[in-house]
Amino acid sequence: MSLLEAVDLTFGYTNDALFTKVGFRLEAGERAALVAPNGAGKSTLLRILAGEVSPDKGTVVLAKDARLGYYRQSHELKAQGSVFSALMSGFGELVELRAELESAQENAASGTDAALARLSRAMDRYQQAGADRLEQRVQAIATRLGFAPRDLEREVTTLSGGERGRLALGVVLAIEADVLLLDEPTNHLDLETIRWLEGHLCEHRGALLVVSHDRAFLDNVCPNTFELGRQSFRTYPLPYSKYHGERAEDLERERKLAEEQAAFVQKTEDFIRKNIAGQKTKQAQSRRRMLDKLERVERPEDVWARAERVRFRFAEAPRSGDIVLEGKDLGAKRGEIQLFSGLDLLIRRGDRIGIVGPNGSGKSTLLKLLAGKGHADDQGSVRRGTNLREGYFDQHLGSLEPNRSAVEEVRSVRGDFNTDGARQYLARFRFYGDDPLRQVRSFSGGEHTRLALAKLLLEPRNLLFLDEPTNHLDIPAAEILEEALVGFEGTVILVSHDRRFLETVTTRIVAFGESGPMVYEEGFRDYTATLERRRRAEAEASRRPPKPAPKQQRSEPKAEPPAHKNQKAEAREFERKKKRVVELERAVAAAESDLGRLRDALKNPEADWERLHELAQKEQNTAKILEALTAEWLKLSEELGR
């Protein structure tokens, strides 16, 4: 039985169809990627499937009693209160039980028999509903999405845009919906969190339909690909990277069939025209009837053709010196948090350096420091090479003025362009018709990014700083930008969480980890291979019994290379965490035992009210201690697992 079925869906604006006759079904355990260029209607289709928008034609059938979870790209959070209450907002009955328990605990301080009886009943209902287990699962999801235990009490209104996006995703994942609709779920996630999300979704037992521009994510999560076009809807039982080859073969075959039929129809019509009034009238009439009954083969729709017209071309720039940047003892501190310190980095002409790491680790801070846009209190020095022509792409698109048109944005850099010249230039970035005359504030995320890149490429550059340049770009645009950067003769320093983009473009990686930033000289593949070897070694080490320490022999101490020191420090940290996990497991077991004993004592009808009030206070404190211990155990267990 299908969990979700779309039947002949059609939708458009002002009689202009965005898509027509979309039909598919998803069974339990099926995962599919919905792909198309920006503006094709992917998000609109998800909103129709979620019941937020009505189609012009067709129907959506959700299985009876199936629960639907929908993550919007705009992550509009309606939840109020704390982060934890937002995560629990999908469980109305359990939220009410928790509120009742907290109220009963406060009232129990009065010591009346009625208040204590109410506390006992509230606690029984809370435990029977499995709320304890639910809270632990929700806390685990929050930890995976980068929220520390102390963050759970923060007000939703204090969260940044990226934090709100991660919280909105957590709210959707927490309810364990039968049908998941996810619109760009990897935005605002770092590489490790994306890796966890992939595993989480692959274990999902329901149906999944996901929109994403992250090609590696689509390949790892979705064995099926749905292609949305204006006149066509194609389904392939293949991941994204394999779908492209199959699709190209289908288009070629369908084009050939359409051309052959068109040639046949043309030839037949010529015969009819020449013979309809002559000796072969009957043959001509017969062929006309045949043409009237012929099912016409339309030329296939290539949904990616227009998207692939974008062109990122770098203006020719003078050659820089061989040494572009030399950073010595670089560091940065924000508030009381030291993001990184002691980093030395030599950047040569032609380097394409990727900066990766967890959210909040200092990636964009390092990029700004290298670009000369850092904070006055940043540490270290950056020596700049000769003949540099620098360009900076800001992920927040601060270079764009919302009240200007795209033409005005271009002319703010190149005053020698007239309106027609600016429009011709913008056409290279897929701005057609009236788009160049629209105000920037009305642009989509992809249009904003393409316009910012168009401005950046107007002037000759030989050193580029790019902060998340593929955010909001559709897949063809990201691939064309990759190709342009690989052929770029200057130097590139970029921050990104797009793994395919990093694999294709970068020649070296600066990776932020627990022991600070480290440089991987062989690029992103070397970095990921090193992480995988480390994970396998740690997993193997955790399964082996510890070896007895060898006898120490006296010898002269030798200086260790920095890499060895880092490895030893990481090994010591790993052993410390393993020891702490064992301690936490014992502490959690003891706290659970104490909590059970206290809850049993609270049910004793013969205890006096002073004793019950004391027990209720102890029960509340023990529950909080258990919650903190469990959160720490989950966090450390996750880190050891990685």
pLDDT digits (tens, 9 = 90+) for 92-110: 666 677 777 778 888 877 7
Q: How far apart are CA 414 and CA 257, in angstroms?
A: 48
- Residue length of the chain: 642
pLDDT tens readout for residues 185-207:
998 888 989 999 999 999 999 99
pLDDT band, very low/low/confident/very high, at 610 (cuts 50, 70, 90): low
Residue 123, amino acid? M
Q: How far apart are CA 344 and CA 380, in angstroms?
A: 9
Torsion of CA 116, 120, 121, 123, to 10 degrees: 130
What number is the average pLDDT over the span 405-424?
Answer: 90
Whether residue 528 is found in the same domain as residue 608: no
Q: Residue 520: inside a domain, yes or no?
A: yes
Give start and end residues of each alpha helix (H) in 145-239. Answer: 161-174, 191-202, 215-221
Task: Identify the pLDDT of residue 206.
Answer: 93
CATH number of the domain to which 469 belongs: 3.40.50.300
Q: Which strand (E) or helix (H) includes residue 492?
A: strand 491-495
Q: Which residues contact 550 (CB under 8 A, 6 or more apart)?
A: none
Q: Residue 326: inside a domain, yes or no?
A: yes
Q: Identify which has the larger pLDDT, 209 or 435.
A: 209
Beta-bridge partners for 236: 225
The strand ranges marked E within 82-148 are: none
Whether residue 396 is found in the same domain as residue 479: yes
Whether residue 528 is found in the same domain as residue 574: no
Strand order in the sheet with 2-13: 16-27, 2-13, 57-62
Whether residue 629 is found in the same domain as residue 480: no
Q: Identify which has the larger pLDDT, 295 or 332.
A: 332
Q: Identify which has the larger pLDDT, 330 or 597.
A: 330
**Burial of 121 from C-beta contacts in 10 A (0-12 / 13-18 / 19+):** middle
Q: How far apart are CA 213 and CA 217, in angstroms?
A: 8
Q: How far apart are CA 467 and CA 393, in angstroms?
A: 6
| pLDDT at 164 exceeding the cut of 80 | yes
User: Is residue 81 helix, strand or coil?
Assistant: coil
Q: Residue 132: inside a domain, yes or no?
A: no
- CA 325 vs. chain centroid, Å, equals 31
Q: Identify which has the larger pLDDT, 514 or 327.
A: 327
Whether residue 506 is found in the same domain as residue 573: no
User: Is residue 212 helix, strand or coil?
Assistant: coil
Whether residue 525 is found in the same domain as residue 465: yes
Task: Identify the pLDDT of residue 308.
Answer: 73
Q: How far apart are CA 269 and CA 273, in angstroms?
A: 6
| pLDDT at 119 exceeding the cut of 50 | yes
Q: Residue 495: inside a domain, yes or no?
A: yes
Backbone torsions φ then ψ of 26, nearest 5 degrees: -125, 125
What number is the average pLDDT over the span 254-262?
Answer: 87
pLDDT band, very low/low/confident/very high, at 79 (cuts 50, 70, 90): low
User: Is residue 418 helix, strand or coil?
Assistant: coil
Task: Identify the pLDDT of residue 556.
Answer: 47
Whether residue 513 is found in the same domain as residue 605: no
Instruction: Tell me what percent of the residues of the chain surpass a pLDDT of 70.
Output: 87
In the predicted model, what is the mean pLDDT of the chain? 84
Q: Residue 290: inside a domain, yes or no?
A: no
- Angle, alpha carbons 83-89-92 (nearest 5°): 150
Whether residue 465 is found in the same domain as residue 395: yes
**Structural domain of residue 579, as residue ranges?**
569-641
Whether residue 612 is found in the same domain as residue 467: no
Whether residue 488 is found in the same domain as residue 628: no
What number is the average pLDDT over the span 452-474?
Answer: 89
| pLDDT at 314 exceeding the cut of 90 | no
What number is the average pLDDT over the span 375-396?
Answer: 89
| pLDDT at 220 exceeding the cut of 90 | yes
For 10, 140, 209, 339, the CA distances from 60, given in Å and listed in that order, are: 11, 33, 14, 49
| pLDDT at 638 exceeding the cut of 90 | no
pLDDT band, very low/low/confident/very high, at 557 (cuts 50, 70, 90): very low
Q: How far apart are CA 501 and CA 503, in angstroms?
A: 6
Residue 454, amino acid? A
Whether residue 625 is found in the same domain as residue 483: no
pTM over 0.85: no
What number is the average pLDDT over the span 370-375?
Answer: 90
Q: How far apart are CA 547 and CA 540, in angstroms?
A: 13
Report the domain count for the chain: 2
Whether residue 499 is found in the same domain as residue 353: yes
What number is the average pLDDT over the span 406-414?
Answer: 90
Among 71-85, 131-145, 240-254, 393-407, the range of highest mean pLDDT: 240-254
What number is the average pLDDT over the span 634-642?
Answer: 68
Residue 166 contacts residue 188 (beta carbons within 8 Å): yes
Give the other-Cβ count within 10 Å of 8's Cβ. Answer: 13
